[in-house]
Structure 1
Amino acid sequence: MSFDTTGLVAYVNGEYKPLSEASVSIFDHGFLYGDGVFEGMRVFDGGLFRAELHMARIARSARSLGLAMPVDGDEIVSIIGEVVRRSDLRDAHVRPIITRGFGGPGIDPRLCPVPSLIVSAYPFPPFLGADPIKLFTSAIVRKAPRSLGAHVKSLNYLDAIVAKQQAGELGVHDAVMLDSLGAVAECTGANLFIVVGDTLVTPTTRAALPGITRRTVLEIAAEQGIDAEERDVWPMELHAADGAFVCGSGAGVVPIGSFDGRPVTYPHHPLIERIQEAYREKTRDAAYRTELYAAA
């Protein structure tokens, strides 16, 4: 699968460049050691969705690593707008990245006096599609919270990559990952919900990223009077769920059709369809958007 960069622009450390020419040094510690943080954001019809929450999260991630923000969140949003407009995109996935910066070999962060900032934007349909997906439970364990906190959206995704590789080799769409206690954490790049009766249930964020879409779903549930619980979810509960879905900025809200070869009772559960519709409405609601194009 090729990635067409024609006409796309990226920002790298103060310069706007064709995406195909954008690069950092091989001695940038983001490249060498995964020493950095990022966000995955969405633009829907020219509006950046929930920018303030993403900027707050990347700032928390950076603080957790003792990583200096090269500019503040408002300036990053301004850069995102310029990248999107120069790339002539109305619907896009956006990825701001902050790395420790150039420092040469050696993991000591004191070797890197200036952090790097990279922003890219590109067309990106929901990466899991729209139809009910098949999942399996991976033996790869999420490292958090005994290693790096789950709230840190870092550049190191190796555990998720290996689990995703397993899913591909088994012919399913994605993997469910467990935490160190054996409870469900999340999928490789999305949070997970199950429907138990009339209640939405989602794992805690002990070992799962506190996703912006996850938060939006919980807000929708509160607004619509849908019972929702955040608690430990155990693997056998997945097999008994009435319905289930994954959610994330890159995935949207996608129903799950089966876990480990066992079908979900209602892959098109009406509660999930309500959440999907409400989420679509939120992405078009001016209260949740930062408009990147001037009104005509």
Structure 2
Amino acid sequence: MEERIIYIDGQFYPKSEAKVSVFDHGFLYGDGVFEGIRAYDGRVFRCEDHINRLYEGAKAIDLEIPMSKEEMTEAMLETIRRNGLRDSYIRLVVSRGMGDLGLSPDKCPKPTVVIIADTIAIYPPEMYENGLVAITASVRRNSASSLDPQIKSLNYLNNILAKIEANRVGAAEAILLNQNGLVAECTGDNVFIIKDGVIMTPPIYVGALNGITRRVVISVIKQLGLPFEEKEFTLYNLYNADECFFTGTAAEAIAVTMVDGRTIGSGKCGPITAKLLEEFRKVTRDPSQGKEIY
């Protein structure tokens, strides 16, 4: 297979030659933001939503992206074209840029923009049929008073420490609670539970990312006329749910059948979850939901 082509600051490089400075503050301090985006059948799914969230995150950390949204979108599309991909995972990264060894962003005159287009498979196909096993992490989700979880920052240590816990016990995902013991989200996914026919997901303010896939699934739920609430809940509610599923750009939507050794519902992908997964996949292939690449 030919090398992937990577975009860096207006230029394209083979993967083996794609480099940023060791003095880049994204590398030194995790100072920057990113987006993970999917393309399906030659269209970038929910392109505008992702681009808007990237720029909103940059604004939140006082980082001025050195190109317009339209220029960023075109650079992303061209990166995908140069890699000849129709179905892909795209990573947009904007760091504070090259500076010195001090913390101050004032020493970084120009942000660094990197765009990667590749393929991705987070979970094996059989897991989408049988559901995944998750645990609850001992680490707590970052508080909005320290680092707002709505910002997709380059510092993902909070998520990574939770992922390490999952890896150590052979679980596919780890659920993060906030400082008050409420279910917030996972290391890379949003959480939904279903009880007595009502679908629930934590509100953003408890410490969850406003996921694009989360938004799409909520819109599907409403279109189907299913009972839905954005509602705080604890592990007690999750353990006793009839069904549970996670959503995320990379993972898409996937059933959860065991958490912390407790079987969720029947221990299989439930009927409501299965219906939502089916409808979500239809949306990803809807031409109106994507931006044409070619």
Alignment of 1:72-83 (within 5 A): 72-83=68-79
Structure 1 runs of 4+ aligned residues shifted over 4 Å read none
Contact 1:128–1:251 (Cα < 8 Å) also in 2: no
Percent same amino acid at aligned positions? 37
Q: Using the TM superposition, give the Cα deviation of residue 18 of structure 1 relative to its aligned residue in structure 2, in angstroms.
A: 0.8
Q: Give 1:282's aligned residue.
A: 283
Contact 1:127–1:250 (Cα < 8 Å) also in 2: no
Encode CA deviations 1:142-166: one digit per residue, 9 max, x unaligned: 1121211121100011011111111
User: Take 1:233 and 1:22, find their aligned partners in 2: how far apart are those partners?
Assistant: 44
Q: Using the TM superposition, give the Cα deviation of residue 127 of structure 1 relative to its aligned residue in structure 2, in angstroms.
A: 3.9
* Mean Cα deviation higher: 72-81 or 253-262: 72-81
Q: Secondary structure at the match of 1:272?
A: helix
Structure 1 residue 250 corresponds to structure 2 residue 250: yes
* Mean Cα deviation higher: 139-148 or 51-60: 139-148
Q: CA RMSD in A?
A: 1.2
Q: Using the TM superposition, give the Cα deviation of residue 167 of structure 1 relative to its aligned residue in structure 2, in angstroms.
A: 0.6
User: Take 1:268 and 1:174, find their aligned partners in 2: how far apart are those partners?
Assistant: 16
Alignment of 1:57-206 (within 5 A): 57-127=53-123, 129=125, 130=128, 131-206=130-205
When normalised by structure 1's length, the TM-score is 0.95
Contact 1:19–1:120 (Cα < 8 Å) also in 2: no
Contact 1:128–1:173 (Cα < 8 Å) also in 2: no
Q: Secondary structure at the match of 2:204?
A: coil
Q: What is the count of residue pairs matched by the alignment? A: 289
Counterpart of 2:104, as a letter, is D
User: Take 1:127 and 1:33, find their aligned partners in 2: how far apart are those partners?
Assistant: 30
User: Take 2:26 and 2:115, find their aligned partners in 1: how far apart are those partners?
Assistant: 14
Q: Secondary structure at the match of 1:40?
A: strand
User: Take 1:88 and 1:261, find their aligned partners in 2: how far apart are those partners?
Assistant: 43
Q: Which residues of structure 2 form unaligned runs of 5+? A: none
Q: Using the TM superposition, give the Cα deviation of residue 70 of structure 1 relative to its aligned residue in structure 2, in angstroms.
A: 1.4
Q: Using the TM superposition, give the Cα deviation of residue 20 of structure 1 relative to its aligned residue in structure 2, in angstroms.
A: 2.4
Contact 1:95–1:119 (Cα < 8 Å) also in 2: yes
Q: Give 2:262's aligned residue.
A: 262
Q: Which residues of structure 1 form unaligned runs of 5+? A: none
Encode CA deviations 1:93-116: one digit per residue, 9 max, x unaligned: 100111100111111010111111
User: Take 1:191 and 1:182, find their aligned partners in 2: how far apart are those partners?
Assistant: 16
Encode CA deviations 1:178-222: one digit per residue, 9 max, x unaligned: 011110010100001001111110011121100000000110011
Structure 1 residue 52 corresponds to structure 2 residue 53: no
